[in-house]
Chains A and B, each alone.
Chain A
């Protein structure tokens, strides 16, 4: 067992874990934040995506010990006192989610782009969303929501 200290959404979290514990399990079982979802646990589905020092990563492919000292941002950090984050609000308005399993990962991948939202192109959004599997929506609403949130015109592929 190893002691791991890191910060999740600005809150310090310290826990003793086995070295093989993934960051995803650490977030869910030690930080007790279950908005980060686990689908495939091998990097393909994107549900577990979080920000590690501002960079979107698969938390199922990282060990918690590797995140020692890092700042981890999860979906719980997005909504504030003022209500939903603009990305969440856009997904809501465009029916970009049904069961919501994939949604937190999608939000975190888009959240990586949010700080430079003025320069983000449609191609970049599509590339980003391409890393996420959604079994419900057929993606059309998700793409529309992202276009809307980033101030891009709706593309002809829906």
Chain B
């Protein structure tokens, strides 16, 4: 399945993926390109909604903030929000936003339609519970009313994948918070609870893999740093 091609085309170029059949979705923009606010406060993002269009639409500020950190403008001009979730990169900002906002993916096949929570969907690095015959038609995000959010990451250069990053949210009263951590484990993970101590829990839960961009201890340390900074920026006394 070829959506924006900003992950799949590099995989093909490296011969890391060798599909015998490639289905291009891009002529389905009219059917799959929409972004709609649904009754009940959910936002439904169609499979061909481009990252850049969603970022600029202002439909959801936390998602816009996250998308601004994804690659570069020319990448986001083609890349889709849904494609990022299907690709399941452990460092993907969009997957973490989807996890933080109780996201779910709407999947269709000739067998029917099903909705899978992003938390169940992401089974590991670059792997999901999407069956080979299924097409993701939309991502549904459920932002809780009144919450404020921050997205923070540390990357080697602007546009690079994060060494560690966090989507942090706090409820209107400031007593409840959420963290979705990306780039620090085989898949993004989420922690809920009072802001105090949450950043430390996030760092303790990190399972980063070390590579030439940063070792395990450094990346674990970064999780605590970005989590504390994000919570502090939201006005909590997490530090």
A contact residues vs B (CB 8 Å cutoff): 20, 22, 41-43, 46, 49, 55-58, 60-63, 65-66, 109, 112, 126-128, 130-131
Interface hit among B9-17, B182-190, B192-200: B9-17
A127 engages B72 (CB within 8 Å): yes
* Partner of B10 from A56, A61, A130 at Cβ < 8 Å: A61
B71 engages A61 (CB within 8 Å): no
* Partner of A61 from B9, B24, B68, B73 at Cβ < 8 Å: B9
9 nearest CB pairs, A to B: A131-B72, A42-B10, A61-B9, A56-B74, A130-B158, A42-B13, A55-B77, A61-B5, A130-B159
B108 interface contact, C-beta 8 A: no
Across chains A and B, the number of contacting residue pairs, with CB separation under 8 Å, is 65
**At the interface, is chain A mostly helix, strand, loop or mixed?**
mixed
A128 engages B73 (CB within 8 Å): yes
Docked complex Cα distance between A74 and B237 (Å): 52
The 0/1 profile, CB within 8 Å of A marked 1, for residues 62-75 of chain B is: 00000010011111
Docked complex Cα distance between A20 and B24 (Å): 12
29 CB contacts below 8 A, A to B, read A22-B9, A41-B13, A42-B9, A42-B13, A43-B71, A43-B75, A46-B72, A56-B73, A56-B74, A56-B77, A57-B74, A57-B78, A58-B74, A58-B78, A60-B9, A61-B9, A62-B5, A63-B5, A63-B9, A65-B24, A66-B5, A66-B24, A109-B73, A109-B74, A112-B73, A127-B72, A128-B73, A130-B159, A131-B159
Docked complex Cα distance between A112 and B74 (Å): 10
Residues of B within 8 A of A42 (CB): 9-10, 13-14
B156 interface contact, C-beta 8 A: no
Nearest A residue (CB) for B157: A130
Residues of A within 8 A of B127 (CB): none
B26 engages A66 (CB within 8 Å): yes
Residues of A within 8 A of B78 (CB): 57-58, 61-62
B75 engages A58 (CB within 8 Å): yes
CB of B53, distance to nearest CB on chain A (Å)? 10
CB of A23, distance to nearest CB on chain B (Å)? 10
CB of B65, distance to nearest CB on chain A (Å)? 13
Interface residues on B, range: 20 to 34
B128 interface contact, C-beta 8 A: no
A43 engages B9 (CB within 8 Å): yes
Residues of A within 8 A of B2 (CB): 66
Docked complex Cα distance between A43 and B157 (Å): 15
A131 engages B74 (CB within 8 Å): yes
* Partner of B158 from A20, A63, A127 at Cβ < 8 Å: A127
Residues of A within 8 A of B6 (CB): 43, 58, 61
A127 engages B73 (CB within 8 Å): yes
* Partner of B9 from A46, A62, A127 at Cβ < 8 Å: A62
Nearest B residue (CB) for A65: B24
A57 engages B77 (CB within 8 Å): yes
Of residues 1 through 36 on chain B, the ones whose CB sits less than 8 Å from some CB of chain A are 2, 5-6, 9-10, 12-14, 24, 26
Docked complex Cα distance between A41 and B71 (Å): 16
Beyond the given A43-B71, A58-B74, A130-B159, please list 11 additional residue pairs across the A-B interface where CB-CB is below 8 A. A42-B9, A49-B74, A56-B73, A58-B78, A62-B9, A63-B5, A63-B24, A66-B24, A126-B158, A128-B73, A131-B73
Of residues 36 through 82 on chain B, the ones whose CB sits less than 8 Å from some CB of chain A are 68, 71-75, 77-78
Docked complex Cα distance between A49 and B12 (Å): 19
CB of A124, distance to nearest CB on chain B (Å)? 8
CB of B52, distance to nearest CB on chain A (Å)? 8
Nearest A residue (CB) for B5: A61
Nearest B residue (CB) for A20: B12
